[in-house]
């Protein structure tokens, strides 16, 4: 959903059981993994 252009607000509306801090932490973790993958792949 996020990659499709939805913002965190829309994501939280669709999944009310999630908390903003949890979604933000998951996105930060995903960004770090992507950065690490790009460095390893080069």
Q: How confident is the model at residue 36 (pLDDT cuts 50, 70, 90)?
A: low
> Does the pLDDT of residue 37 top 80, yes or no?
no
Q: How confident is the model at residue 35 (pLDDT cuts 50, 70, 90)?
A: confident
pLDDT at 19: 95
Q: Which residues contact 22 (CB under 8 A, 6 or more apart)?
A: none
On the CB side of 11, CA atoms within 13 Å amount to: 17
pLDDT in tens, 1-33: 777 888 889 989 999 999 999 999 998 998 888
> Does the pLDDT of residue 41 top 70, yes or no?
no
């Amino acid at each position: 959903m996020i990659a499709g252009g939805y913002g965190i607000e829309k994501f939280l509306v669709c999944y009310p059981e999630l908390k903003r801090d949890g979604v933000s932490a998951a996105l930060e973790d995903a960004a770090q993994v992507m950065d690490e993958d790009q460095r390893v792949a080069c």
